[in-house]
Amino acid sequence: MKTAVIVFPGSNCDRDAQVALKQATGSEPAMVWHKDGTIPDGTDIIMVPGGFSYGDYLRCGAIAGNSPIISQLLSHADRGGYVLGVCNGFQILCETGLLPGALIRNASLHFVCKPQALKVENANTAFTSAYAGRDEISIPIAHHDGNYVADEETLSAVENEGRVAFRYAGNPNGSARDIAGVLSENGRILGMMPHPERAIGDHEGGTDGVALFESLVGAA
């Protein structure tokens, strides 16, 4: 199985993503520099990591969403490849149009960084199947612009189509309908603000992130 992590200037969770994917698959992911890198042929899973791409100038993820590597990411998605965008990666996926909605400043106007309780809203997805039977998990969050917003028509669509993967149990940022993670229409792309790659060992933020990577590898 082939995996890849896209690295932007300002990414700071790319190594966490690398470690999580290696632990899940047993092989090193390709670390792809956004400007002149190439996503290897046959890549199954691409992870867009967290951080502060381009210093979060303009809107978070706006500049990264127009990077040269994005055309390859879009082609991968068009082929039905799997994509996981975490935190800044979620913001970038929204900027590219791969996911609906947008992420704006937290309602509190403060940066939040803590373990966060999540409800597994749909355990019948490529990213959540290993959570079957578990109602609540804990995954770390660390963001300033994690307030998920969309128009009511879009929110109703993602609800009715089972595309809400996770909800916050105690909303830390004001996200519409407590949404913490949302899926694409084909279910092969997930964007989420919490960091599952920071919850893959007891020395970190617990182990509740392991099941997400297990689910994804199993689906791929």
Residue tagged active-site, from 13, 34, 76, 87 = 87
159 is a catalytic site residue:
no
Separation of CA 174 from chain center: 18
Judge whether 87 counts as a catalytic residue.
yes
For the question of residue 197 being annotated catalytic, the response is yes
CA geometry: angle 55, 74, 41, nearest 5 deg: 105
Listed as own residue / partner, the contacts of 151-157 with beta carbons closer than 8 Å and 24 or more positions apart are 154/100, 154/101, 155/101, 155/179, 157/100
As a whole number of angstroms, the distance between CA 3 and CA 25 comes to 8
The active-site residue, picked from 76, 95, 143, 197, is 197
Contacts of 208 (CB under 8 A, 6+ apart): 137, 138, 139, 196, 199
Q: Catalytic amino acids? A: 87, 195, 197
